[in-house]
Amino acid sequence: MSAMDIIGIVMQILGGMGTFLIGMKMLSENLTQLAHTKLKNILGKTAKSRFAGVGIGSAVTIIGQSSAFTTVMVVGLVNAGVMTLFQATAIIMGANIGTTLNAWVIALAGSDITALFLVLAAVGMFINMFAKSERLKSVGNVVAAFGLIFVGLKFMSSALTFEEGTEAFEAVKNMLGAVKNPVLLLLLGIAITALVQSSTAVNAIIITMASLGMVIGGGGNAPLYIIIGSNIGTCVTALISSLGASPNAKRAALIHFMFNLFGALIFMIILVSWRGFAETVLEGIFPSDITVFGKAGLGQTMQIATFHTLFNVVNTLLFLPFINGFVWLAEHIIPAKEQKEEPVLFADLDERLLRSPSVALDYLYTQTGEMFSYAMETLNRAFGAFLEKDTSAATDVAERNAVLAEADRRGISYLVKLSAAHLVLEDERTVSTLHYVFNDIMRIGELADNVTKYTRHYAEDELVFSGEFLEMISGMFEKIRKLYVMALASYLYRDVNSLGDVEKLEDEIDADRRDLIARHIKRLNEGKCQPENSGVFINLVGNLERAADHINYIAHSILPREGA
């Protein structure tokens, strides 16, 4: 075989693998897009049952078509504090089971139904081109993705198809049989998977070779060592993803690695000790000459898919009772860091969550509620200081506004990244809404800063306000606090029915502002109030009423905007 022939084969294999990986990426993104609501609901579950966690992990992996997708998402949710390590461990175990479905699909690709899938790429693209709805376009992309996956597999199998006895056949046979050491085959599986960041791609290569009758490492258990290695190699994506994350996120990635490593050690011992495992167990389940969908000789491909499932299911059953042990071990390997004293809003806006934009957006929406609360606490601090003539609060309010400004920067930056993702129309509207909400929250902080300025004038200019005024403005502010509680609940729970009560209370606050100003003007005309008080009085009342307006706007942000 000439050097040019070898280069041609390698290029065709790489082209097939590239097409396969593009198809897998398209499939993952668009299935996630179609199931975005269900995915949010599934990942939002906080069931303490380890069995529920395994089920959730399997379901999300089937939707996302990648255990790496699920594991990276879990690392992000743990980093954000949304998920505990106990829950994450169960979900990670389930993800390993969910990913085995891909091996079965690939194993069946060698049957006579393959030709049917080859036309799907074109059909899917036509659906995408002529569809008007975003949902139907995503359906077209899913169809096209299936087509690309099988086109990629066909390319790889064509590159490796040689007539027995030819120079090319003997060269490939010698190359595949060169590595026979179980540990080297395991390391080979780890290395290739870490390189392409997809255990599914490695399974596809092994299954394709098996469907062509190619013997790897002298046959027997040899291909199984590579499959075991691929399960360890797929942990690299999550481990890399956890770099720079919180200790808990790193622990989640470590647990994923430990689960596969411990499982690999157990199966390696079994396979090395039982050299006839493949012939005895797997051959017994799927004989090599079995016929599937009218295609004979698919037994070896089905055996590899069976082993991949067996590996992950058995490991899950073995380790499921010891989830707390995994958590304990991870916590001792990676100790906790000292918590920062200063508050950092949106410190956990994890880019890992962007793999599922709907989940990331839902998390950001909830976190925005915390930013809203922080802004209201800042206004509380400022108003309380006014009543006490406490000018020192200005520094505290300024520092809190700096925290809000940084949160605004982080939040807007995250929204920009979300906008670049493939969002459904509902999520696009939420992104647009959050831009307005961020603006309203920042205005509340700025109004709190204004109140500290009026406090300085109140104290330094030795102004005197009547007890009646202070009582009335305190009553107005108490309504603002109540309005905030109602608005926050409406916002977080998207409760449209409560907006009527919000509007009614906001109208009362507007009426209080008018009444306070009218009473002030009357007292001025009667000579009962100092004229120099007017600037502070009118501005303070006006600023508080404006704060109520912004609180009201946040509550009403749950309604569709005109033209949206």
Q: Can you tell me the distance from the alpha carbon of 379 to that of 505, in angstroms, rounded to the nearest whole number?
A: 18
Q: Are residues 270 and 121 in the same domain?
A: yes
293 & 407 share domain? no
Is 536 domain-assigned?
A: yes
CATH number of the domain at 388, please. Answer: 1.20.58.220
Structure tokens at 365: 């929406």
Per-residue confidence (pLDDT) for residue 421, from 0 to 100: 77
Q: Which of 333, 365, 398 is the last residue of a domain?
A: 333
Residue 421 located in a structural domain: yes
Q: Residue 343: inside a domain, yes or no? A: no
Vertex 140 angle, CA 100 and 196, to 5°: 40
Across 330-334, average pLDDT: 91
User: Do residues 282 and 368 both lie within one domain?
Assistant: no
Query: Does 159 share its domain with 279?
Result: yes
Domain identity same for 288 and 161:
yes
- Pick from 300, 333, 366: which residue ends a domain? 333
Same structural domain, 326 and 367: no
Quote the DSSP letter at residue 280. I
The answer to whether residues 293 and 441 belong to one domain is: no
Helix axes 3-34, 167-176, angle to 10 degrees: 60
pLDDT band with cut points at 50, 70 and 90 for residue 433: very high
Instruction: Using the 3D structure, point to which of 333, 366, 394 is the last residue of a domain.
Output: 333
- Residue 429 in any domain: the answer is yes
| H/E segment holding residue 503 | helix 499-525
Q: Is residue 344 part of a domain?
A: no
Same structural domain, 413 and 322: no
pLDDT in tens, 254-310: 999 999 999 999 999 999 999 899 889 988 888 877 766 555 556 778 888 899 999
The answer to whether position 338 is within a domain reads no
- Of the given ranges (100-104, 276-280, 398-402, 496-500), which has the lowest mean pLDDT? 100-104
Q: Which of 490, 487, 459 has the alpha carbon at shortest distance from 548?
A: 487
pLDDT in tens, 163-182: 455 555 555 556 556 678 89
**What is the signed CA dihedral for 64, 67, 73, 79, rounded to 10 degrees?**
170
Is there a single domain that holds both residue 362 and residue 303? no
The CA distance from 329 to 327, in Å, is 6
Supply the DSSP string of 461-478, one letter for each residue.
Answer: TT----HHHHHHHHHHHH
**Residue 294: burial class (beta carbons within 10 Å; 0-12, 13-18, 19+):** exposed
Q: Do both 284 and 426 map to the same domain?
A: no
468 and 537, same structural domain? yes
pTM of this structure? 0.66
In a domain, 261, yes or no: yes
pLDDT band at 43 (very low <50, low <70, confident <90, very high): low
Instruction: Give the C-alpha separation, 72 to 57, whole Å.
Output: 12
Is residue 309 located within the same domain as residue 395? no
Owning domain of residue 161: 3-333
Phi, psi of 333 (to 5 degrees): -75, -40
Question: ∠ CA(145), CA(72), CA(324), 5° rounding?
Answer: 135
**Three-class DSSP category at 222:** helix
Residue 388 lies in a domain: yes
| pLDDT in the model for residue 243 | 74
Angle at 392 between CA 391 and CA 398, to 5 degrees: 100
What digits encode the pLDDT tens for the residues 360-400?
A: 888 889 889 999 999 999 999 999 999 999 999 999 999 99
Q: Return the pLDDT at 203.
A: 79
**SS3 letters for 159-176?**
HCCCCCCCHHHHHHHHHH
Residues 162, 172 contacting (CB under 8 angstroms): yes
C-alpha to C-alpha distances, 23 to 194, 211, 500, nearest whole angstrom: 19, 21, 49
Q: How many domains does the chain have?
A: 2
